[in-house]
Amino acid sequence: MLTSKPKYQYTCPALRISYGLDASEQNQDSLIKHTTAGTKKYWKPRNDDLVISTKEPEAIPATPPTSPDKPGTGSKGESQHTEAGANTVTDSNKVAAPVLSAQALKDTAAAREKREEVKKLVNSFEQRKNIMSKEIEISSDSVRISFYDNGDIDGDSITVFLNKYPVLTHQPLSAKSLNMYLAFDKGHDVAEIGMYAENLGLYPPNTELMVVTDGDKRYEVYMSSSLSQNATVVLRKKKSVMTIKPE
């Protein structure tokens, strides 16, 4: 049984290890040496983890054009096709435009609602003061970022921004890690991670522990955000140096 210090009880939980001996294998030491030598196992995403990249987030698609007020009663020269699988209004001089179905109209409304939510979050984020907590130089092409409630689990909830765009919204913090996997795209070597407090929990301010796993390196950043300021961490991809060997 391996126990952790109270300060790191969430990031390094207690471990219980159980060993079993394979009686059929006579040379155990040799087996272990050959199966573990030279191997490194880091992390891999869980099913509920978010996987994103540093590339600029794509804009939410604009609202599709609406259908005519009275489909099938267009102006002179127009005709309506009602063959199976087709539902369009055509004109001899125009490209065919789809008549939106009820499901398409519903999806359009959902897209508008999402755009409005993102817009409000971005505006609120920009109105708060950004406090730089730390800048970390990253060696790997991708990292794992984990968030925990630092201290007492008191109902803190956050929204995570990547380069001032919300990527994780309305997420409660607890002793269980909230994971995000970030890949550095070519030409996008800087990732600004912003912590936006949705509330202050029972014991203000909203405090978080952010753990960045970069290969075999690990960085811990203690962050604090409130309803007037955001906590920010900058991850910067380390530039590779090309060396030319003399002939």
Q: What is the rounded average pLDDT of the residues 74-89?
A: 42
Q: How many angstroms separate the Cα of 228 from the Cα of each of 127, 129, 199, 235?
A: 8, 6, 11, 23
In the prediction, which pLDDT does 201 show? 87
- 26 confidence band (pLDDT: 50, 70, 90): low
Sketch the domain layout of the chain as residue ranges. Answer: 50-60+129-237
- How far apart CA 210 and CA 11 sit, in angstroms, is 10
Contact between 212 and 145 under an 8 Å Cβ cutoff? The reply is yes
Per-residue pLDDT, 129: 96
**Residue 162 contacts residue 52 (beta carbons within 8 Å):** yes
In one-letter notation, the amino acid at residue 112 is R
Span 193-231, pLDDT tens digits: 999 999 998 888 899 999 999 999 999 999 999 999 999
The pairing of beta strand 206-214 with beta strand 217-225: antiparallel
CA distance 171 to 198: 9
Residue type, 216: D
Structure tokens at 121: 């979050």
The structure's pTM equals 0.62
pLDDT digits (tens, 9 = 90+) for 164-178: 999 989 999 988 889
